[in-house]
C-alpha cells in the first residue's frame, strides 16, 4: 500500500506501508501492501506484551499503573507520578531506572517541567520509564537481579519466549531499544496476530482493559493512539519507526508498518484496513479524520491530506 501527501491534486511524499488483519488463531483475514513477512523491530508496540510478562512475574499493578507500564507516555505530571508510585511499591526510586535521561516527549509537559524548576533531563521523564518501572517491580517480586536490561536476564528471556509464542514467528536475534532494554523483532502478520490474542485471551484482559480505559495514560491525550482508542473499542499501541498494533475487542488484531519510519502513514493504513473490513463504522471514521486523513499544513493553513493513494 502507498500512503502519500495529496495537495491540489498532486500526489507526493510517498510512504510504502504494509498492514494486516489477523484473527486470534493466526488466520490472515485481509492485507494491504507487500512485505507481509519482512522482519522489523516492534519497539514500543511490544510494551503490552512486555507489561503482561511483568504482571505475571508478580508486579501486581493496578489498572492505571498497567496503562503506564504499557505506555510511551508524554511525561505529564500524572505519568511521572504513576511511575514513582510503581517504583515506591517495590521499595525503589527513580534512581533505580536505567532508561536514559530525557525531557518529556510532549511539548506541554516539557514546558511544565521547565517552569517547575527542572533544569536537566531525567530518566523518569523518559517515555519508556513506565515499562522500566514495571520491569523493576517484577524483578523485586521474583527475587531477580535489578540488572534487568541484560539479554540473559530471566525477565528478558520470559519476554522473548512470550513474544515468540504470541507472534507465532521468530523474534530473535534481538536488538537494543532506544531505552536500553532488548528490542524483539516480528512481522506485520506476527504483530497483528499478537494483538488479536491480546484482544480476546482471558489472561490478558487486565492489559487490554487498562490500555483502552486509560488511553491517555498509555500515550497522551492528543496522540493518534489515544484518539483511535477513544472512538473504537480497542487497545492501541504504536512503536518507533512507524509501527502500530490494534487489538479490537471483537476479536481482531490489526498491525501496520510504515517502511519510511513515519508513524502517521501506519495509522492511516490501519484505520483504512479497519474501514474496509467494515469494523469501523462511518461515524467513528469521520471523527478520526485527524488520524485517518491527517491534514498537511502550509503557511498555517490546511493545503492537503495524508491518505491512501495506491494498493
- Cα 243 from chain centre: 8
**For residue 263, what are the domain limits?**
2-310
For residue 139, pLDDT beyond 80: yes
pLDDT per residue as tens digits for the range 39-64: 999 999 999 999 999 999 999 999 99
How many Å apart are CA 34 and CA 12, to the nearest integer? 20
pLDDT per residue as tens digits for the range 184-195: 999 999 999 999
For residue 143, pLDDT beyond 90: yes
pLDDT per residue as tens digits for the range 153-175: 999 999 999 999 999 999 999 99
Question: Which H or E run includes 36?
Answer: none
Instruction: For Cα atoms 66, 219, 193, give the angle at the middle one, nearest 5 degrees.
Output: 70
* CB-count burial class (<10 Å; 0-12, 13-18, 19+) for 158: middle
The CATH number of the domain holding residue 147 is 3.40.710
User: Closest by alpha carbon to 234, among 256, 211, 268?
Assistant: 211
Least confident of 58-72, 165-179, 199-213, 285-299: 285-299
For CA atoms 42, 223, 232, 264, the dihedral sign is: negative
Query: How much helix, strand and coil, in percent to the nearest 5, is found in the chain?
Result: 45, 20, 35
Q: How many domains does the chain have?
A: 1
Amino acid at each position: 500500500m502507498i500512503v502519500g501527501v495529496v495537495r491540489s491534486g498532486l500526489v507526493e511524499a510517498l510512504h510504502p506501508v504494509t498492514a494486516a488483519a489477523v484473527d486470534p488463531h493466526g488466520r490472515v483475514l485481509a492485507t494491504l501492501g507487500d512485505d507481509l513477512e519482512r522482519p522489523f523491530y516492534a519497539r514500543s508496540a511490544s510494551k503490552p506484551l512486555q507489561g503482561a510478562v511483568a504482571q505475571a512475574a508478580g508486579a501486581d499493578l493496578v489498572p492505571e499503573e498497567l496503562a503506564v507500564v504499557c505506555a510511551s507516555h508524554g511525561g505529564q505530571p500524572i505519568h511521572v507520578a504513576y511511575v514513582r508510585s510503581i517504583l515506591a511499591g517495590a521499595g525503589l526510586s527513580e534512581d533505580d531506572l536505567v532508561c536514559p535521561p530525557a525531557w518529556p516527549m510532549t511539548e506541554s509537559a516539557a514546558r511544565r517541567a521547565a517552569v517547575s524548576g527542572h533544569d536537566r533531563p531525567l530518566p523518569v521523564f523518559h517515555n519508556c520509564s513506565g515499562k522500566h518501572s514495571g520491569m523493576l517491580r517484577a524483578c523485586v517480586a521474583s527475587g531477580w537481579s535489578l540488572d534487568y536490561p541484560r539479554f540473559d536476564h530471566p525477565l528478558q528471556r520470559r519476554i522473548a519466549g512470550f513474544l515468540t509464542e504470541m507472534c507465532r514467528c521468530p523474534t530473535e536475534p534481538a536488538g537494543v531499544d532506544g531505552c536500553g532494554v532488548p528490542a524483539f523483532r516480528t512481522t506485520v502478520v506476527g504483530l497483528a496476530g499478537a494483538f488479536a490474542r491480546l484482544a480476546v485471551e482471558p489472561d490478558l484482559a487486565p492489559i487490554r482493559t487498562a490500555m483502552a480505559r486509560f488511553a491517555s495514560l498509555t500515550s497522551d491525550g492528543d496522540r493518534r493512539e489515544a484518539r483511535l482508542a477513544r472512538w473504537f473499542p480497542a487497545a492501541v499501541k504504536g512503536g518507533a519507526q512507524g509501527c502500530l498494533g490494534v487489538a479490537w475487542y471483537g476479536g481482531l488484531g490489526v498491525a501496520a508498518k510504515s517502511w519510511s519510519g513515519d508513524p502517521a502513514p501506519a495509522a492511516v493504513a490501519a484505520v483504512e484496513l479497519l474501514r474496509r473490513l467494515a469494523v469501523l463504522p462511518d461515524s467513528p471514521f469521520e471523527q478520526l479524520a485527524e488520524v485517518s486523513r491527517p491534514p498537511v499544513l502550509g503557511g498555517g493553513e490546511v493545503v492537503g491530506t495524508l491518505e491512501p493513494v495506491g494498493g
